[in-house]
Amino acid sequence: MHELTKTSLKARVPTPKRIGSSIKKDAIHPRDYNAYTLPYACEDCSHFKAENESCTLGLMTEPHLRRTQVRSYEISGKIALCRFQEID
């Protein structure tokens, strides 16, 4: 009886959501990373304001700044490409 109650309670209590990165990162082949000048950072984007490292669209720039992207690529081979990036 006691086990039944425990099991029923477990079934009703939802598992808390895992906290993780919500930004999906894309893998870039090292050959391409080294061969091409890829515009992957905020610093390459028309919406970037260098004075205060902000985005004119109001997006969070930290995950897309060059220093963050380079560090991410060196660690994982992946970078967080911004889907709103525009290049003149």
Minimum CB–partner distance for residue 17 and ligand SF4 (Å): 25
Does residue number 68 form part of the binding site for ligand SF4 (CB under 6 A)? Answer: no
Does residue number 85 form part of the binding site for ligand SF4 (CB under 6 A)? Answer: yes
Cβ atoms of residues 82 and 59 within 8 Å: yes
Binder among 25, 33, 59, 77 for ligand SF4 (CB under 6 A): 59
Does residue number 45 form part of the binding site for ligand SF4 (CB under 6 A)? Answer: yes
Which DSSP string do the residues of 38-62 spell out, in sequence order? Answer: ---SGGGSTTEETTTTEETT----G
Looking at the Cβ atoms of 79 and 82, the one nearer to ligand SF4 is 82
* Alpha carbons 79 and 73: distance in angstroms, whole number: 6
